[in-house]
Chains A and B, each alone.
Chain A
């Protein structure tokens, strides 16, 4: 089987995974909550009870024989629809894009779930991607240095950094960074880096009075670049430094440790001895012969770390007061906005499934022994 055939098969399987997940998630949210919670995202303020009942019946959360909205609210047996029977209706709705209105108090009345979600999602994605980039750019080199200088000073430093990063609570590390770079490191009365928000112009290395460009992608840095407003892009980038560093500290620690141990393992292999005996430079032996083999386990971990990064953004968004979708989803849980939570779970699941596919493809590219 060719690689692309495998990819196609995996993409089809991906649909199945998401379907299974949606079933599971649907049962978890609807199975234990009163049916009115399923109705809530679709109700608008000015509806009367008759309209609400009709809506409930059209959404499939109340039976056609349900006498009144009061009966539905009181969970009368004649009104209840089994959870499995509600699923197909719900699926039809959400697949056609109808996720109802969000119940978030901050979103204002009649704000669509999808509108709120997808206006904030790019911001979270930007944060997670920056975290992933930092993780790879720091974690891999640190692991290599650690392994090639085994038990020497660079190794000790890198091990302290990685173990520390791995064990530090992220929110605490975030506050420490805020204290250092916003409160203490001050230039001309301003903090070196902005303290909170997606775009704060009150920092020493930011541009002041920047015009906010029209949102194209929703991710500020990209928007700035696309609209040619590089000052805005820079400010957005600067505002993301502390959150991204905080977000990635744990995964940097994890990746460094994995790369270090697998690199040490590979450096002990016979083919490294042969490579050295061929008179190749140290650089070639390490980067060409050792690294590629050592990256195999690291790629697997990197896939898991991506999921971890998307989960970790919630804390970061709270600490740095960022308008991302992670914190919003947490609020959605608090107000029982089940559609919003479901959307968050499904999109996150999609990201993880796609990442896993990418990991498998990269794996096959790195290791020619893998056949599908």
Chain B
């Protein structure tokens, strides 16, 4: 896959090792990935396949014992791996946002929901001034169209329009607008009574509400890339459905690409445009959602799809991929899947297969399809 200009994010040959007492864990072994502008890319794989490590590498938030050994992470044309820490922080603030798995442990227990959102905006007042002013103006314009504008609001509208041109805003004025904007965002993630939610502490909210809050924290920044790491895993099934519905609604409203990390193929089928399948630190297959489900090429993907229980299957029969996820301290040679692969042949243990385009837009990393 070449990093074409319409890609918002391109990850090339990313290699990450973890230093542990037991030895070096080769967690990512040359990950290639690209997210196109406006698309939802699903990243699926078993636990331990390296999905979250990929996400944390992109964010530059790998734990201390991790080391990026090689590769590139290009976000909006900048290689994040060569940028300074400060630049990466700015990128996290303005260009990408991440929503995590467990909404209870990821929210600070001693700060209110509102303050945890406001602090994002206050980190860079200059950048977010146009955002909050525009949000307020949008409200005022709507009121103007409906003819419910008070005299005071008319004056505010005029002054804000002037402000938008100058882009300067006093601290208190900024705070007032930022708060209104944050409350509006809380409403947009379908939290009931956003005004009240703003003042609540995380422990006072349910799991679904907390997840919505975390999504709100991502949305206020208007990120170009939204990374959603197993966002439905820790939730009840009914709440999962609501959060997915919300994500699908937001996908149309916001101008962001989404990297959706999950181990749940049903979630992928639900909202993704394309899917990348990960196995033991490699991307083994990338394709459009429909194509992948209809025509899986890699033996691992085939096994994964066959393992989904079906109501029409013979009773008592559950298919699984034989063997287990390899120990990544001593990963299998060549293709990391070969010890478990039903179609493995002499070439597989010898070298790592290249990613080949087996059909149009359908990439697979397997010797069965060439290379």
Closest residue on chain B to residue A368 by CB atoms = B201
Chain B residues closer than 8 Å to A271, beta-carbon distance: 105-109
Chain A residues closer than 8 Å to B106, beta-carbon distance: 270-271, 273-274
Closest residue on chain A to residue B109 by CB atoms = A369
Please state if B110 and A277 are interface contacts (CB–CB under 8 Å).
no
Chain B residues closer than 8 Å to A278, beta-carbon distance: 92-93, 97, 119-120, 123, 217, 221
Closest residue on chain A to residue B117 by CB atoms = A278
Interface centre among A276, A277, A278, A289 (most CB of B within 10 A): A277
Chain A min CB distance to B57 (Å): 13
Q: A275-B108, A276-B92, A292-B110 are in contact. Are A369 and B100 (CB under 8 A)?
A: no
Tell me whether A157 is interfacial, beta carbon within 8 Å.
no
Contact of A277 among B90, B92, B94 (CB under 8 A): B92
Tell me whether A280 is interfacial, beta carbon within 8 Å.
yes
Tell me whether A334 is interfacial, beta carbon within 8 Å.
no
Please state if A279 and B90 are interface contacts (CB–CB under 8 Å).
yes
Tell me whether B102 is interfacial, beta carbon within 8 Å.
yes
Q: A269-B105, A270-B102 are in contact. Are A281 and B61 (CB under 8 A)?
A: no
Please state if B93 and A279 are interface contacts (CB–CB under 8 Å).
yes
Please state if B100 and A274 are interface contacts (CB–CB under 8 Å).
yes
Closest residue on chain A to residue B200 by CB atoms = A368
Closest residue on chain B to residue A277 by CB atoms = B98
Contact of B110 among A270, A276, A281, A367 (CB under 8 A): A367
Tell me whether B183 is interfacial, beta carbon within 8 Å.
no
A119-B33 Cα distance, complex, nearest whole Å: 77
Chain A min CB distance to B225 (Å): 12
Tell me whether A288 is interfacial, beta carbon within 8 Å.
yes
Please state if B120 and A273 are interface contacts (CB–CB under 8 Å).
no
Tell me whether A293 is interfacial, beta carbon within 8 Å.
yes
Chain A residues closer than 8 Å to B61, beta-carbon distance: 273, 276-277
A281-B89 Cα distance, complex, nearest whole Å: 8
Tell me whether A361 is interfacial, beta carbon within 8 Å.
no
How many B residues touch the partner, as a band?
Answer: 20 to 34
Interface residues of B in 72-127 (CB under 8 A from A): 89-94, 97-98, 100, 102, 105-112, 119-120, 123
Instruction: Report how many residues on chain A are interfacial, defined by Cβ distance under 8 Å.
Output: 21
Contact of B214 among A274, A281, A292 (CB under 8 A): A274
Please state if A293 and B109 are interface contacts (CB–CB under 8 Å).
yes
Closest residue on chain A to residue B105 by CB atoms = A270
Chain A residues closer than 8 Å to B214, beta-carbon distance: 274
Please state if A280 and B109 are interface contacts (CB–CB under 8 Å).
no
Interface of A: prevailing SS: helix
Contact with A along B54-81 (1 / 0, CB 8 A): 0000010100000000000000000000
Chain B residues closer than 8 Å to A269, beta-carbon distance: 105
Interface centre among B90, B98, B108 (most CB of A within 10 A): B108
Interface residues of A in 231-290 (CB under 8 A from B): 269-271, 273-281, 284, 288-289
Chain B min CB distance to A269 (Å): 7
Interface residues of A in 289-314 (CB under 8 A from B): 289, 292-293
Chain A min CB distance to B217 (Å): 6
A270-B234 Cα distance, complex, nearest whole Å: 14
Tell me whether B203 is interfacial, beta carbon within 8 Å.
yes
Chain B residues closer than 8 Å to A279, beta-carbon distance: 89-94, 120, 123, 221
Interface residues of B in 110-152 (CB under 8 A from A): 110-112, 119-120, 123
Chain B residues closer than 8 Å to A270, beta-carbon distance: 100, 102, 105-106
Please state if A293 and B120 are interface contacts (CB–CB under 8 Å).
no
Chain A residues closer than 8 Å to B97, beta-carbon distance: 277-278
Chain B residues closer than 8 Å to A293, beta-carbon distance: 108-110
Contact with A along B214-229 (1 / 0, CB 8 A): 1001000100000000
Chain B residues closer than 8 Å to A362, beta-carbon distance: none
A289-B107 Cα distance, complex, nearest whole Å: 10
A193-B120 Cα distance, complex, nearest whole Å: 49
Contact with A along B328-350 (1 / 0, CB 8 A): 00000000000000000000000
Tell me whether A107 is interfacial, beta carbon within 8 Å.
no
A284-B92 Cα distance, complex, nearest whole Å: 15
Tell me whether A366 is interfacial, beta carbon within 8 Å.
yes
Chain A min CB distance to B86 (Å): 9
A292-B221 Cα distance, complex, nearest whole Å: 25
Chain A residues closer than 8 Å to B102, beta-carbon distance: 270
A284-B93 Cα distance, complex, nearest whole Å: 13
Chain A min CB distance to B289 (Å): 27
A277-B58 Cα distance, complex, nearest whole Å: 11
Q: A274-B214, A276-B92, A368-B201 are in contact. Are A281 and B109 (CB under 8 A)?
A: no
Chain A residues closer than 8 Å to B203, beta-carbon distance: 368-369
Chain A residues closer than 8 Å to B89, beta-carbon distance: 279-281
Closest residue on chain A to residue B88 by CB atoms = A279
Chain B min CB distance to A257 (Å): 21
Chain B residues closer than 8 Å to A367, beta-carbon distance: 109-110
A278-B203 Cα distance, complex, nearest whole Å: 20
Please state if A289 and B108 are interface contacts (CB–CB under 8 Å).
yes
A280-B111 Cα distance, complex, nearest whole Å: 15
Chain A min CB distance to B249 (Å): 23
Chain B min CB distance to A41 (Å): 51
Please state if B120 and A280 are interface contacts (CB–CB under 8 Å).
yes
Q: A270-B100, A273-B61, A369-B203 are in contact. Are A284 and B110 (CB under 8 A)?
A: no
User: What are 15 pairs between A and B in contact, CB < 8 Å?
Assistant: A271-B105, A271-B108, A273-B106, A274-B100, A274-B107, A277-B59, A278-B123, A278-B217, A279-B92, A279-B221, A284-B123, A293-B108, A293-B109, A293-B110, A368-B201
Contacts A273-B61, A279-B92, A369-B109 aside, 11 further interface pairs with beta carbons under 8 A come to A271-B105, A274-B106, A274-B214, A274-B217, A279-B94, A279-B123, A281-B123, A292-B111, A368-B109, A368-B110, A368-B112
